[in-house]
Structure 1
Amino acid sequence: MDKYNSIPCFLLAAGRGERMRPLTDHLPKPLLTIQNKSLLAWHLEALSSAGIQNVVINHAWLGEKIEQALGSGDQFGLNIQYSPEVTALETAGGIAKALPILKAKDYFLVINGDVFSPELPLQRLLEQVLQLRQDVGPILAHLLLVPNPAQHPNGDFYLQGSQVSDTPLAGSEKLTFSGIGIYHKDLFRNLVIDTSAKLAPLLSEAMAQNKVTGEKYLGPWHDVGTPQRLEELNAAYE
């Protein structure tokens, strides 16, 4: 698993979690727990098992509690660094700010801190990074897509083979972006550091150049978006 040491991972944990209130009034959303383990801890344990060594976590709302809970990462066998944001910079803005800490030579893994996917195929995603490094181009993003959940029935992107588009392709299937992806640092090269920026426009531009690939994931995946959903997941995984 040493071959994965050079692939850093970024965990997105800067959101306010408005829909999770009042649970998030005094706790950052990614520290909410399923079976007494925080959402971030689930990710960190999986990353460590997969051979990842270096993780960067961004935070804004109550970010000091994330640092207090996770520390330097020793408890997970990881090296964790933090990218604090005064106000949340959205996904792309947060990634751009963290790039100097991530020190990615090309590709890096990004996972939303508020999704729960206990059987995430990290090994396969890391193999995908090694494959992407062989391609000319380069591909700028590889997205993990999932069947559309009840709360998001219209999906996000179209998948045909391994090509991802935001416009319909012949014979394509419209799926939901899981919040889990592999990105090339060049996707963010034109962003101004410390400026809020959304990810979707960058992906859309890359898709227009056929530089976004993806795969459909059928394993357990949950967007922990409401207190009720958190309660249901705790009951389901008892």
Structure 2
Amino acid sequence: MRHALILAAGRGERMRPLTDATPKPLLEVNGTPLIVHHIEKLAAADVRYIVINTSYMADRFPDALGDGSRWGVRLRYSYEGPQPLETGGGMRNALPLLGPEPFIAVSADIVSDIDYNALPREPQGLAHLVMVPNPAFHPEGDFALRDGMLFEDGDRLTFGNVGVYRRELVASEPPGAFKLLPSYRRAIAEGRLTGERFDGYWRNVGTPAQLDAVRLDASRPA
């Protein structure tokens, strides 16, 4: 059974005032919360066990999403406490709920046409990241992609916040808050971070203006 982690613990400061009353992943596009976009796509990819990490307004998630049965999945919640643990710490904190096999991880605050079913079930290295062309807000990119491997040097693409991970990437880190970037860099140095390029629809939803743009896209005829 495939497992997945949806990262949903952030405060969403840049989305204020919308996030003063609602956690960012529960903001809606055409009446559907952002996080449901991922639950539906994961369910369509035969993922039946999904963990959602939470911190800010954590109680709102079970109230809105329940146990996942309406989508044919099982939802469990990994509470990080009142302060989020960053992406790395949040992933490590969720490991006991994710089982021993590689898992998909996706940030709740993106919208894309990435096919989760097409992602590798077993990454060649410690993780496999989906890279996208650099958006205007991140022109410098993150990593270079050559022959399916990721590097620090070269023409960089932006990490699209979707990947497949082995638990070994973060399992040896001490509990607490930490970023994933140092783990990625260690994996690159060891030749154990792979990737693929995605050129389809991908949007980050970090500000009210970005949310409005996604809502406008969703309202247009297909």
Superposition TM-score, scaled by structure 2 size: 0.96
Q: How does 1:206-225 map to 2 (within 5 A)?
A: 206-225=187-206
- CA deviations on 1:44-91 (whole Å, 9 max, x unpaired) are 011111111000000100011111100100111110000011110000
In structure 1, distance between residues paired with 2:165 and 2:159:
14
Partner of 2:133: 147
For 1:121, the aligned partner's letter is D
Partner of 1:51: 46
- How many residues are aligned here? 218
Partner of 2:95: 99
SS in structure 1 at match of 2:117 = helix
* 1:121 counterpart = 2:102: no
In structure 1, distance between residues paired with 2:87 and 2:213:
27
1:18 to 13, 17, 31: 13
Quote how far apart the aligned CAs of 1:129 are.
1.5
In structure 2, distance between residues paired with 1:176 and 1:124:
19
Quote how far apart the aligned CAs of 1:232 are.
1.6
Partner of 2:84: 88
Unaligned runs of 5+ in 2: none
In structure 2, distance between residues paired with 1:95 and 1:189:
9
In structure 2, distance between residues paired with 1:31 and 1:212:
31
For 1:129, the aligned partner's letter is R
Q: How does 1:170-185 map to 2 (within 5 A)?
A: 173-185=155-167
For 2:162, the aligned partner's letter is I
SS in structure 1 at match of 2:42 = helix
In structure 2, distance between residues paired with 1:208 and 1:236:
39
SS in structure 2 at match of 1:24 = helix
SS in structure 2 at match of 1:180 = strand
Unaligned runs of 5+ in 1: none
Partner of 2:214: 233
RMSD of aligned alpha carbons? 1.0
Partner of 1:38: 33
Q: Using the aligned pairs only, state the percent identity.
A: 39
Partner of 1:187: 169
Quote how far apart the aligned CAs of 1:167 are.
2.5
In structure 2, distance between residues paired with 1:79 and 1:99:
16
Quote how far apart the aligned CAs of 1:19 are.
0.4
